[in-house]
Chains A and B, each alone.
Chain A
């Protein structure tokens, strides 16, 4: 086990190291969980400002769970039951393949169904699924981020995949 060198997180260098380590995960976590009603970066900043203000009371090895808990609470206070929308990036027509207009249309219909299906997923399943499929994170990493067991992560992702398939295929 690595041992912490700092008593608390008040050291500026240590603080910026924490930012380097966790800011992207926090950003992605909030985006995938709650969609894009607000700027996820803003929430990351708010969480880190809270951490800085409470730096004397946070031990280095507790900083990560502090950040994830705080950012989740801040965001919950903010959104109050808005519908989740994850923007899908516009499909760019590829230059080297010859895609028929019909193919392009089908593809964009598919993404719309996908988007709706993602929105229907419970937050916990959506965030685990997207961190896994989009960010390529392994079950163990996600378990550490969400502070749940690896088995729970596995179940969430599997269930999400099955739900998406049924929803999209219209079963």
Chain B
């Protein structure tokens, strides 16, 4: 190895023991080591992010509160207010709950800076006081997590639990249906007492006493882009998702249908979504306010 490369490797903290010995035998190595040791004397003044941020908030002061009102009007932030409202009025302990009602999604950041997006008809709760000690939360419904590095992060649901060290994943815990998708890193799933590891791109599904292992090439859930996608899912679960996305009640044919459905619907337009899921099964629909009735087409 050239002398210059060896030095650069040393500078990048990359030398093996053997290489370090060669380095130490260089005529200039003692000068380098001394320069390295003494560099610590020029360390920048200490910087505390938290207190510094408080000082910044003071400077931003009044301008910020007027802006607050503006953007709390937007859908996502409005649900945050509802969540905080519940927290303050119903619950005096340090449990925090975030909700996304039907036909809404909510995004928020946990105390450790992990990011969470809740899909329609879902909620998450956790204890703020204990968060520093153990990162664990309860999920009812479906959520996407982008976890900050750190200690184990665990999501408990009614059917199973999911633990990670730092990654991106999605958990979907619905009535009789459980799904975990891992987008990055590695997650540990405990379902009915059985432990399983999912690496990036792997999906675990459980419904109707069946377990399915699948792969996904997606880097995040489709519903982050206003789409709901399904791969070999019993039709009734598809209809239940449709109910949550548009805050409607579906009755009639198909609601107890177990035919496996693969496809997707758009979360923004009810008519288009209904067409997308009814046409393949030869069904027709009629909308009456919040009620949708499905019928089998007679031919």
Residues on A lying within 8 angstroms of B by beta carbon are: 1-3, 5-6, 10-14, 16-17, 19-20, 23-24, 27-28, 31-32, 36, 40-41, 44-45, 48-49, 52, 86-89, 91, 110-111, 114-115, 118, 129-130, 132-136, 138-139, 154, 157-158, 161, 164-165, 168-169
Contact = CB atoms under 8 A, between A and B. Distances in A.
B59 interface: yes
Given A45-B59, A136-B13, A158-B4, A2 B168 contact: yes
Contacts of B39: 129-130, 133-134
A154 B14 CA distance: 13
Contact of B32 (A36, A115, A165): A165
Given A41-B55, A157-B8, A168-B31, 5 more contacts: A13-B108, A23-B52, A27-B47, A136-B13, A158-B8
Given A3-B220, A134-B40, A45 B55 contact: yes
Contacts of B38: 110-111, 114
Contacts of A88: 41-42
A17 B109 contact: yes
B115 interface: yes
A49 B60 contact: yes
B53 A16 contact: yes
Per CB-CB distance, the 7 closest pairs between chain A and chain B, nearest first, are A133-B39, A31-B44, A13-B109, A88-B41, A86-B42, A27-B47, A28-B44
Contact of B31 (A48, A130, A165): A165
Contact of B7 (A132, A158, A168): A158
B41 A89 contact: yes
B201 to A, nearest CB: 14
B286 to A, nearest CB: 36
A27 B45 CA distance: 9
Contacts, number: 123
B116 to A, nearest CB: 9
A87 to B, nearest CB: 8
B156 to A, nearest CB: 23
Given A45-B56, A114-B35, A158-B8, A5 B107 contact: yes
B12 interface: yes
Main secondary structure of the interface of B (DSSP, over half): helix
A32 B45 CA distance: 10
Given A2-B184, A138-B13, A10 B71 contact: yes
Interface string B50-73: 001101100110001001100100
12 contacts: A5-B224, A19-B53, A19-B56, A20-B49, A24-B49, A27-B44, A40-B47, A132-B12, A134-B40, A135-B44, A139-B12, A158-B8
A59 to B, nearest CB: 16
Contacts of A17: 109, 113
Interface residues on B, range: 35 or more
A123 B296 CA distance: 75
B133 interface: no
B146 A5 contact: yes
B56 A161 contact: no
B38 to A, nearest CB: 6
B28 A154 contact: no
Interface string B10-41: 01110000000000000010011011101111
Contacts of B194: none
A122 B34 CA distance: 21
A160 B219 CA distance: 41
A45 to B, nearest CB: 5
B43 interface: yes
Contact of A49 (B11, B13, B59, B184): B59
A48 B56 contact: yes
Nearest to A17: B113
A15 to B, nearest CB: 9
A107 to B, nearest CB: 8
Contacts of A135: 44
Contacts of A165: 28, 31-32, 35
B189 interface: no
B166 to A, nearest CB: 11
A67 B77 CA distance: 25
Contacts of A52: 60, 64
